[in-house]
């Protein structure tokens, strides 16, 4: 036990200041951050799949270019976050192996299928919208590299959300069939997007400690509340509805009331039994195998450079 280290850490947290990679930190703080940041990175990488499937089917060259840029941004976010996670001491190939072995989680949302072009709109508006609501407070996370990575990621996510909103707006103002397609996408993504914030507070084992450490700034339910309030207004501009007749603001309680979510479905999805888990993991493993030659070439190059330096 490092008494001076612990005192320094406690002071930094009490001052709402930042812990940096070389600072002393409790083993549990390191562990929970490695878990959260690596899961976040895995989510960005797996999250490329539902949208990548639609690049070839985007309805115009412009839409294709926008979608490609968006999917590339997600790859960038993943790389950023793996770098932030590595500063905590676990190498990236170890983190990646945890994902490939099915030991590390990634966001539940990416285990749902993207069936129509309108789903690109719903994913941008709802999924990236939920991601922003969750991630803006993470810009103030006590661990420096994570908080700083979040700043750029949130800026890009804002663009993603707007492009999704705009896809839905255009479809909603299109033919009746297009409007129906937009409504159907919103219907399917609404509840899974609300589940992205994680289990209810009384069933969230990590929240209390993560909030005490200034990693999380708001609880899962608080952020879900905030998000549902935002989309309740935005959906009116879209001329669509949310599949939640119970949704309303309770003035007396000062909070949004939404329908009960199916937490059994959530548990199934995060334990590998969602509609697309097997497909997503198979694709990720395949992509990893296809990249073997790149890793081998990089290794050979590094060895050659090291030998040159030694000579
Ligand atoms: N999908 C998959 N797993 C989840 C989800 C979810 N939507 N929500 C919670 N979990 C997992 C947690 O990772 C935790 O698992 P573990 O302890 O076995 O590792 C378990 O369920 C219990 O949940 P909590 O105690 O509430 O966990 P935590 O305090 O980590 O809160 C949260 C979960 C809010 C997702 C937090 O980790 C977080 O803010 N992460 C960063 C954001 C992120 O990962 N976003 C990815 C999706 S958005 C995108 O990338 C486009």
| Tens-place pLDDT, residues 177-202 | 999 999 999 999 999 999 999 999 99
Minimal-distance CA residue to ligand 1 atom 21? 198
Q: 100 burial class (0-12, 13-18, 19+ CB within 10 angstroms)?
A: middle
Which residue has its alpha carbon closest to ligand 1 atom 26? 204
Residue 1 confidence (pLDDT): 73
Q: What DSSP element (H or E) covers 250? A: strand 248-250
For residue 301, what are the CA distances in angstroms to 93, 101, 185, 239, 296? 18, 28, 47, 56, 9
Query: Which atom of ligand 1 lies nearest, measured to the CA of 130?
Result: 48
Q: Name the residue of 129, 206, 210, 268 whose CB sits within 8 Å of the most ligand 1 atoms, as the mutation to test its pocket.
A: 206
* pTM > 0.90: yes
ipTM over 0.85: yes
Q: Which atom of ligand 1 is nearest to the CA of 127?
A: 51
pLDDT number for residue 59: 96
Res. 34 pLDDT band, cuts 50 70 90: very high
Own/partner contacts of 51-54, CB < 8 Å, gap of 24 or more, are: 51/114, 51/120, 51/123, 53/114, 54/114, 54/117, 54/119, 54/120
Ligand 1, atom 15: closest residue by C-alpha: 105
The H-or-E segment that residue 154 falls in is helix 144-172
Distance, CA 196 to ligand 1 centroid (Å)?
Answer: 7
Question: Could you tell me the end-to-end alpha-carbon distance of the chain, in angstroms, rounded to an integer?
Answer: 44
Q: What distance in Å separates the CA atoms of residue 305 and residue 111, rounded to the nearest whole number?
A: 42
Which residues' Cβ are closer than 6 Å to ligand 1?
35-36, 39-40, 43-44, 47, 105, 107-108, 131, 134, 195-199, 204-207, 210, 216, 220, 270
Mean pLDDT over the full length of the chain: 97
- Tell me the backbone φ, ψ of residue 248, rounded to 5 degrees: -160, 160
Of 28, 145, 89, nearest in space to 9 by CA? 28
| Residues pairing with 256 in the sheet | 249
Instruction: Please choose from 135, 198, 202, 263 the residue to mutate so as to test ligand 1's pocket, defined by most ligand atoms within 8 A of CB.
Output: 198
Q: Within 13 A of 202's CA, how many CA atoms are on the CB side?
A: 0
Quote the percentage of the chain above a pLDDT of 90: 99
Q: How many angstroms does the Cα of residue 300 sit away from the middle of ligand 1?
A: 37
- Residues 133 and 230: beta-carbon distance below 8 Å: yes
Whether the predicted pLDDT of 17 surpasses 90:
yes
């Amino acid at each position: 036990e490092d008494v001076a280290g612990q005192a320094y850490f406690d002071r930094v947290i009490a001052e709402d200041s930042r812990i940096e990679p070389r600072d002393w930190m409790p083993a549990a703080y390191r562990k929970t951050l490695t878990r959260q940041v690596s899961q976040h990175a895995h989510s960005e990488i797996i999250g490329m799949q539902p949208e990548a499937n639609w690049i070839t089917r985007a309805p115009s060259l412009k839409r294709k270019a926008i979608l490609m840029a968006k999917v590339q941004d997600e790859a960038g976010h993943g790389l950023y976050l793996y770098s932030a996670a590595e500063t905590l001491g676990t190498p990236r190939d170890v983190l990646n192996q945890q994902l490939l072995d099915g030991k590390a989680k990634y966001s539940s949302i990416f285990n749902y299928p993207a069936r129509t072009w309108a789903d690109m709109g719903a994913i941008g508006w709802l999924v990236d919208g939920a991601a922003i609501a969750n991630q803006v407070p993470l810009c103030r996370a006590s661990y420096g590299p994570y908080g700083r990575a979040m700043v750029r990621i949130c800026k890009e996510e804002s663009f993603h959300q707007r492009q999704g909103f705009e896809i839905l707006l255009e479809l909603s103002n299109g033919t009746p069939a297009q409007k129906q397609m937009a409504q159907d996408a919103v219907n399917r993504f609404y509840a899974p997007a609300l589940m992205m914030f994680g289990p209810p507070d009384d069933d969230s084992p990590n929240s209390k400690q993560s909030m005490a450490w200034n990693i999380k700034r708001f609880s899962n339910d608080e952020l879900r509340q905030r998000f549902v309030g935002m989309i309740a207004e935005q959906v009116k501009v879209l001329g669509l509805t949310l599949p939640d007749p119970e949704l309303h603001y309770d003035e007396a309680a000062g909070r949004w009331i939404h329908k009960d979510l199916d937490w059994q479905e959530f548990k199934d999805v995060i334990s590998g039994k969602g509609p697309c888990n097997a497909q997503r993991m198979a694709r990720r493993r395949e992509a990893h195998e296809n990249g073997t030659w790149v890793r081998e070439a990089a290794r050979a190059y590094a060895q050659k450079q090291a030998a040159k330096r030694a000579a």
